Amino acid sequence: AVLDLNSIAVSSFSILANNWKTKVRHLYSWDYVSNFDDYLTPFPVMERVKKQLPFFNSLGIDGLFLNGSGYDYSSFEDVKTYVFAALMIDPSLEVPQLITNYLQRFYPNTGKLLSNYLIGLERSALKRNHPTDVYSSFREALRTYIDQEEFFHFYEKLIQLNKFTVGNERERIDKLLTALAYTKLQIQYASAGRILGDMKRMPQLETNSDNKEETLDRLSAYTTYADLKNYKEEDGAIHRYIQDWKAFEENSFKQNDFAQAQATGLISKQSCEDSYLLTDGLDGFASDFNQGWFLAGEDIVVDGIFHNESGRTKRFTLRCLVNANHRMLVPDHVEFFCNSRKVATYTADDFELQSGVAVLEREVELEKNVTVQLRIYKSKDIKKSVI
């Protein structure tokens, strides 16, 4: 995002830099230029760096350390390295021209397609001026800069053009396509959730199964590359992601009659963002709290309607991610209400731990088409626990 020079964070940084200038002869700053929750999805950061260079220069900062994905591969890392180096030599250079020059030279067959897509991403991100968070979920990328139709068109076109590449270009594009297979799977996952909505199985999802398998097979080729083992900084092994994806395909898309779910903070009374994740029919990945999980830092109330035309016993399932490093623990207890009447209470002991996921499954007697409310109380074992 373009810097707000009047913000508290920017003002504090300016004061810190000015204080250091009285202590040292040369001043250097450390900046972050990757999404550390997703190394493989294209991340528009080049225009942001260019826009911020005059600010760093005004503070008397002599140089920048740009922290990317370290020893792990990230998509378009060679392009970014070239552009960043050029900008630090001459900040007046234009990012689109730098991207075009580099790609035309090293990607003779695919350079035009690559540059058009990258420049489009950078311009879109700059125009929207959303914060460039270095830890953010794929859902946030879809909200702010990734257009799924544009990506699919770009990805399929790149596969076609790759048939005409040779030598280093073929090797680089093969590797890039392997990495971008992750992004394609992420879009398919997110799209499935939006299509399902109230957790109704949709036949459109079935027709894409072959395409998904092809994409999963392409991602599985990551083993070919020594530096393509992780898709994110922490617990980001691609092999675990593939395992979770296969388990997801086997277990998700279940029929669900719990509709119009909306979560609200029990104390704050604030509506919770992404409530649809509670009933979208897609199992979250045990290895990644950003993948399909609804998270809350307070006790929550979940209101909805249960379609139950026959008025019979229904199976109720609640899955909660358990990750002690991130304070995600089994809920202390859960209360189940039907038409404002409490019908059941379940404690942490009623949950079954299954490979990092706490699962509560119970049969509940329901009337016809009732309003349902769940009150989920977070663990009291530690302070600031997360559901």
Residue range 193-248, pLDDT digits in tens: 654 443 343 434 443 556 788 999 999 999 999 999 999 999 999 999 999 999 88
What pLDDT is attached to residue 111?
98
If one counts every other C-beta atom within 10 angstroms of the C-beta of residue 353, the result is: 10
250, 276, 303: which is the final residue of a domain? Answer: 250
250, 277, 307: which is the final residue of a domain? Answer: 250
**pLDDT tens-digit profile of 288-335?**
999 999 999 999 999 998 876 666 788 889 999 999 999 999 999 999
Burial label for 280, CB within 10 Å (0-12, 13-18, 19+), is buried
- At residue 252 the predicted structure's pLDDT band, cuts being 50, 70 and 90, is low
Nearest to 3 by CA among 55, 44, 43: 55
53 and 180 housed in the same domain: yes
The answer to whether position 53 is within a domain reads yes
The answer to whether position 73 is within a domain reads yes
194, 229, 250: which is the final residue of a domain? Answer: 250
157 and 243 housed in the same domain: yes
**pLDDT tens-digit profile of 50-92?**
999 999 999 999 999 999 999 999 999 999 999 999 999 999 9
What pLDDT is attached to residue 236?
96
Range(s) of the domain holding residue 291 = 259-377
Nearest to 220 by CA among 241, 195, 192, 199: 241
Contacts of 257 (CB under 8 A, 6+ apart): 199, 306, 307, 308, 314
240 and 307 housed in the same domain: no
220 and 268 housed in the same domain: no
76 and 207 housed in the same domain: yes
200 and 283 housed in the same domain: no
Tell whether the model's pLDDT for residue 280 goes beyond 80.
yes
d(C-alpha 380, C-alpha 156), whole Å: 49
d(C-alpha 339, C-alpha 187), whole Å: 37
Mean pLDDT of 371-380: 95
What pLDDT is attached to residue 8?
94
Instruction: Please tell me which residue, 206 or 122, carries the higher pLDDT value.
Output: 122
The answer to whether position 288 is within a domain reads yes
286 and 333 housed in the same domain: yes
Q: Which two tokens stand for residue 129?
A: 């001026």
The CATH number assigned to the domain holding 317 equals 2.60.120
220 and 166 housed in the same domain: yes
**pLDDT tens-digit profile of 343-374?**
999 999 999 999 899 999 998 887 777 899 99
Nearest to 259 by CA among 376, 370, 387: 370
Q: Is the pTM of this model over 0.85?
A: yes
- At residue 174 the predicted structure's pLDDT band, cuts being 50, 70 and 90, is very high
What pLDDT is attached to residue 228?
98
d(C-alpha 81, C-alpha 89), whole Å: 13
325 and 212 housed in the same domain: no
241 and 272 housed in the same domain: no
237 and 347 housed in the same domain: no
168 and 25 housed in the same domain: yes
Counted domains in the chain: 2
Q: Measured on CA atoms in the order 228, 232, 237, 242, is the torsion positive or negative?
A: negative
If one counts every other C-beta atom within 10 angstroms of the C-beta of residue 251, the result is: 11
What pLDDT is attached to residue 205?
43
Residues of the chain with pLDDT > 70: what percent?
93
Contact 269, 305 (CB under 8 A): no
The answer to whether position 3 is within a domain reads no
What pLDDT is attached to residue 210?
60
